[in-house]
Amino acid sequence: MRRRPVDLGWMRVFVEATRQGSLTAAANVLNMSQPAISYHIRRAEEDVGVALFERVHRGVELTPAGRALYEIARRAVGDIDDAVRGFHVERDRATIRLLTDYAFSSLWLMPRMQAVRRLHPELDIQIVATQRFQQARLGENEIAVVFGGKSEMKADAVLLVPEVVTPVCTPAFAERNGPFDEPSSLARSTLIHLDSPSQAPWFEWTTYLSHFGAKREAQAGHVDLTFNTYSLVVQAAIAGQGIAIGWEGLVDASMMSGVLRAAGPTLQAPGRGYWLMQPDQPGRHVEWLARWLVSEAKDNGWCAGV
């Protein structure tokens, strides 16, 4: 004769009654009445066809069949609880999209992301590197770090890292090709360029040299290098291939380690740099990330705050 499937609704009650050694104690833990606990235990014994508990003074003890079933039920309940906790973690896991350009994402953000994960391991931060940022499209779980001037930004944007630049190269390159005592000496060396629009919104070699009145001879015998991402510009400088314009906040680690050194005077653009932008109605996780970014910038002496 074919038996009906066993109803496992009593399994958690059975496991908890075994752990507590008392139906009354199990009722308190599970927030159920003692008669309800007794009902589930009777259903369990009816389903399996054997007695699971022996009633003793002020409690219950497992029968041999109960002990065999308990080990199976305990593992099953534990596995179910672990799976449900995993579902809840994934459901409650906050996802934040952080939009910025390639240079900031690779040279400023990435070295700091481990610290963010240690502080908030439940946050899933997706870094979206893009050169085409649309301010109006920020959602409540999005945040952006955008390069530009103050006039281009929203009124509540925060200048996170102002544009401060210094020519940089390796010590070995400076020894072979220097000294670079004057900006005019830079104009006679191999320069590493960042490919940019006809009117770049940041310092480039033309604007840098012009600021100091340094002229570059067209036939000076130099062969320059040009790359379309700033990360490659920095890598070329680290490889000793020439002199690059180094942005404060992006080349600091290489300069502190001595891999790169200053090769000319520093220049700053007032009101221009990397700006932190939030949506009009940011979620609480976005607000936390914004505070952390500002704090990190302040600790390094870049951001003056709001």
pLDDT tens-digit readout, 117-143 = 888 887 888 888 877 766 557 878 889
- pLDDT classification of 250: cutoffs 50, 70, 90: very high
62's CB contacts (< 8 A; 6+ apart) are: 18, 52, 53, 54, 70
CB 201 within 8 A of CB 147: yes
What is the Cα–Cα distance from 302 to 249, expressed in whole angstroms?
8
**Residue 213: which domain range?**
162-270
Domain presence at residue 209:
yes
Average pLDDT taken over every residue of the chain: 85
101 and 154 in a single domain? The answer is yes
The SS3 call for residue 303 is coil
For the chain, the domain total comes to 3
Q: Look at 17-26, 90-99, 177-186, 248-257 and tell me which has the smallest mean pLDDT.
A: 90-99
Domain presence at residue 142:
yes
Domain presence at residue 3:
no
- pLDDT classification of 230: cutoffs 50, 70, 90: very high
CA distances from 178 to 47, 217, 264 (A): 89, 18, 11
What is the Cα–Cα distance from 107 to 45, expressed in whole angstroms?
65
Q: Is the pLDDT of residue 244 over 70?
A: yes
- Provide the CATH number for the domain around residue 37: 1.10.10.10
The structure's pTM equals 0.68
213 and 292 in a single domain? The answer is no
Domain presence at residue 13:
yes
Place of tokens 């910038």: 297
76's CB contacts (< 8 A; 6+ apart) are: 11
What angle is formed at CA 183 by the lines to CA 179 and CA 186, rounded to 5 degrees? Answer: 60
**pLDDT tens digits, residue range 161-188?**
999 999 999 999 999 988 888 888 898 8
156 and 221 in a single domain? The answer is no
CB 243 within 8 A of CB 169: yes
Domain presence at residue 306:
no
For the packed helices 64-92 and 11-20, what is the interaxial angle rounded to 10 degrees?
110
- Mean pLDDT of all residues in 190-199: 83
**DSSP type of residue 4:** P
